[in-house]
């Protein structure tokens, strides 16, 4: 019993000096912070918000189907969808950003074309990037392999065939 108390005291001292892992980790700001920051702006610019919500539906779909932790699909589709939705914002702001201007703005087919083409371009970029990066990596490794083979040929030319590794080395002179 005395041995167990003696073993428990150093463990208790170590536990007091060590901070809990949760206290050491940086605090992660949740969606509530974003909601508190974005909500007043969305209310102040309500006509713009009411136009952007339907225009950004492809981004919402990308967010729902994006399984990756970095949300690269959402970022790619969202940024290009927003760029396309700026057509709507230009129309709305040029009409005075009023509630009466929402219906004609959302009825503009060129605005829908711009928003949806932007989102489609985001999907295409996300889909084609792995193929493109694989092609670049293959080309780089083939070029490096070609350089190494050239260097090996130069070494064989300078030092002879045993450098290749398959032959035997000549006997050392005494």
* pLDDT for residue 67: 86
Structure tokens at 91: 């129309």
pTM: 0.65
CB atoms under 10 Å from CB of 130, counted, come to 9
Length of the chain: 174
Q: What is the mean pLDDT of each run of 10 residues along the chain (174 residues)?
A: 53 52 61 86 90 94 91 94 94 91 92 95 95 96 92 86 66 58
The answer to whether the beta carbons of residues 115 and 93 sit under 8 Å apart is: no
* pLDDT for residue 41: 87
* pLDDT for residue 157: 87
Can you tell me whether residue 174 is helix, strand or coil? coil
* pLDDT for residue 31: 81
* pLDDT for residue 164: 74
């Amino acid at each position: 019993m005395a041995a167990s108390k003696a073993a428990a005291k150093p463990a208790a001292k170590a536990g007091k000096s060590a901070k809990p892992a949760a206290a050491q980790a940086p605090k992660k700001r949740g969606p509530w912070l974003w909601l508190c920051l974005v909500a007043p702006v969305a209310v102040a610019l309500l006509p713009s918000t009411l136009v952007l919500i339907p225009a950004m539906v492809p981004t919402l779909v990308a967010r729902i189907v994006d399984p990756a932790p970095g949300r690269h699909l959402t970022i790619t589709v969202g940024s290009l969808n927003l760029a396309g939705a700026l057509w709507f914002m230009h129309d709305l702001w040029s009409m005075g950003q009023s509630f009466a201007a929402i219906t004609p703005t959302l009825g503009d087919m060129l605005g829908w074309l711009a928003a949806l083409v932007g989102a489609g371009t985001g999907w295409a970029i996300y889909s084609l990037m792995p193929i493109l990066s694989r092609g670049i990596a293959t080309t780089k490794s083939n070029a490096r392999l070609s350089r190494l083979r050239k260097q090996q040929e130069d070494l064989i030319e300078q030092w002879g065939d045993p450098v290749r590794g398959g032959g035997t080395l000549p006997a050392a002179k005494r």
